[in-house]
Amino acid sequence: MKEFGDARIRAGVLRLVVDLETCTGMDSTFMGTLAGMAARISEYGGKLQVTAASEKSCHSLEDLGLDFLMEINQPDPEWSGLDAKVRDLLKTKVAGVKAGTIMHTKHVLEAHEILSQANESNERKFSGVVKLLEDELSEKTGQSS
């Protein structure tokens, strides 16, 4: 998702819509990825919109203060009514980054750094995770952090 979103932003897209209709839960890496994309697209005057987020997902995003970076479940978005058509078009699978690789560790670290930067509370919540991931990355690359 990160690679796709970044490619669309580089292509000049000013709105990314993330459909959480089938999402049963989000981890901090996913939420950090959303926050990073929202921050990057806003640099160009764009916005990230989250649609069909469950009450639980909304609470998770709001609890981390991410509702200030993105629009969540807007009542009447401009693309309203196209949801089903787009969902049908996106049924193909896309290969992701494999867990355990350096690329994966970098991605997870970046996502948690973004969450930590969102507000002081998040910094306290994720400082241990960030340190652990930095140490893991250093070990994998043979570099000290």
Please write the tens of the pLDDT for every residue from 94-144: 456 677 788 888 988 999 999 998 888 989 889 988 999 999 999 988 876
Please write the tens of the pLDDT for every residue from 60-86: 999 999 999 999 999 988 888 777 777
| Section 5-11 average pLDDT | 91
- Specify the 3-state DSSP secondary structure of 18: strand
Q: Which residues contact 139 (CB under 8 A, 6 or more apart)?
A: none
Number of domains in the chain: 1
pLDDT at residue 90 greater than cutoff 90:
no
In which element (H, E) is residue 6 found? helix 2-10
pLDDT for 93 equals 46
- CATH code assigned at 42: 3.30.750.24
What is the amino acid identity at position 129?
A: V
Residue 75 lies in a domain: yes
CA distances from 33 to 17, 23, 48, 88, 133 (A): 14, 15, 12, 24, 16
Contact in structure between 69 and 61 (CB atoms under 8 Å)? no
139 Rama class: left (phi>0) / alpha (psi -120 to 50) / beta: alpha
Residue 144 lies in a domain: no
Residue 88 lies in a domain: yes
pLDDT for 77 equals 85
| Section 85-93 average pLDDT | 64
Q: Which domain holds residue 107?
A: 2-139
| Section 3-9 average pLDDT | 90
Residue 145 lies in a domain: no
Residue 132 lies in a domain: yes
Please write the tens of the pLDDT for every residue from 9-62: 999 999 999 999 889 999 999 999 999 999 999 999 999 999 999 999 999 999
| Phi, psi for 20 (deg, rounded to 5) | -105, 20
Hey, what are 70's tokens?
């993105």
